Amino acid sequence: MRSLSRNIALYYAYKSTKAVEFYRPIMYLYFLSLGLDFTAIAILEGIYNVTTVLGEIPTGYVGDRVGRRNSLLFGTTVITLTLVGIGFAETFLELAVLYACWSMGYNFRSGSDDAWLYDTLTDELSADQFASVRGRGQSVALLVGVVGSVVGGYLGNIDLAYPFLMAAGVSGLGVPVLLSLEEPTSYEKSDADELGLREAVSVISETLSHPRLRAFVVYYFVLFSAVSYLVFMYVQPVLETVLPQVGVPTGEVEPLLGWFYAAVSLFSAGLSYHTGTIRDRVGLRQWFLVIPFVVGIGLVALRALPMLAIPAFLFARGISETTRSLASQYVNDRIDTLGRATVLSALAMVSSIAVIPFQLGSGVISDVASPLTALAIAGGVLLVGSFAVLVWESPVKSPMGHPAEAE
């Protein structure tokens, strides 16, 4: 087994090749430029999530059977080829097929990287460092994304397809990095490669219904994740409307969006680097009891004060990766190595199911009214839903099932 430090260095290198920030500043502007409306974009996102629903558990199962590294390798290859295809797409039908492929690529990566990292740290009796190491890995990716966002914004000002092609090239660099990884010893000794379908279904069922996780699944993987996804969808069209109101010339919107996403990445990178500190000093319970309500209030306020979009989006997007790392630590601490990737994929599937009605509803509302109205309604749903979960039971509990105090 290679040293922990070398494995973690390779993990950081892999995270830096995810390359999503190259196209994020212009992604939906690109689709709008191809003649799609918000409803069509919402349908594309729905296709992505339906594919996720159908593929998450099977791909998580494959990840448990064939190994986390092989699953990551296949997923990265599919994503790279799909990004090239999107850069050359011209019709809704082409994008629909590519979106399904895109989702399958992420299905193979979903859960597998966290499962690989957690088991690798378990080998060294360092599983309690998962949130910290994952956060620093995400910080590395986001720092690369700072440059990627700026470059993507300027490339998009030349041609909105170029950022996708650039992202494909960077994503492809992840293949040789992944080939250098080894499977954790704890995975190899867990008999995960002998996990049967019946056992996998049983693991998922027990996990989702367990008192330690059931409220958290609704609170984070259903409500917060779905609303966060909508924020991701509507940053560009909202800011394209808001920025000219503060004097930004129309022709300079795309480059400025690149700088905005760079600011988001820089803010998120700082938070992600200190994920472990946040966990130790703030605690999981305090973080998850506050963040959904801050985001919800910010989105509701947009309807009356559109100029709040810049700070509201900066905050909502900036805290999303740190929140995801903390959520992954919370879940990983409460599940076993056997079936770990399957369970994490199942939770991603839950998020994908939950977001579909949010996407379709917001698409229709955006075309009939405006994206700001759709986001304000989503913020209201997050506030009411989060409060309802708290009335039901505490979403953040200790590994023994009691409300967490210090976590």
pLDDT by residue for the chain (407 residues), tens digit each? 456 678 888 989 998 897 678 898 899 899 999 999 988 998 998 898 888 777 755 655 565 666 778 888 989 999 999 999 999 999 999 999 999 999 989 888 876 787 788 878 877 756 678 878 888 888 888 888 888 888 998 999 899 999 999 999 999 999 999 988 877 765 555 444 444 445 445 655 666 666 778 889 889 988 999 999 889 888 888 888 888 877 778 777 878 888 888 888 889 888 888 888 898 899 889 999 999 999 999 999 998 888 888 899 999 988 998 898 899 888 888 776 656 666 776 777 777 778 888 888 988 898 888 889 999 999 999 999 999 999 999 898 765 544 554 45
**Residue ranges per structural domain of the chain:** 4-178+185-392
pTM strictly above 0.85: no
Label each residue of the chain as H, E or C: CCCHHHHHHHHHHHHCCCCHHHCCCCHHHHHHHCCCCHHHHHHHHHHHHHHHHHHHHHHHHHHHHHCHHHHHHHHHHHHHHHHHHHHHCCCHHHHHHHHHHHHHHHHHHCCHHHHHHHHHHHHCCCHHHHHHHHHHHHHHHHHHHHHHHHHHHHHHHHCCCHHHHHHHHHHHCHHHHHHCCCCCHHHHCCCHHHCCHHHHHHHHHHHHHCCCCHHHHHHHHHHHHHHHHHHHHHHHHHHHHHHHHHCCCHHHHHHHHHHHHHHHHHHHHHHHHCHHHHHHHCCHHHHHHHHHHHHHHHHHHHCCCHHHHHHHHHHHHHCHHHHHHHHHHHHHCCCCCCCHHHHHHHHHHHHHHHHHHHHHHHHHHHHHCCHHHHHHHHHHHHHHHHHHHHHHCCCCECCCCCECCCC
> Any idea which architecture 4-178+185-392 has in CATH?
Up-down Bundle (1.20)
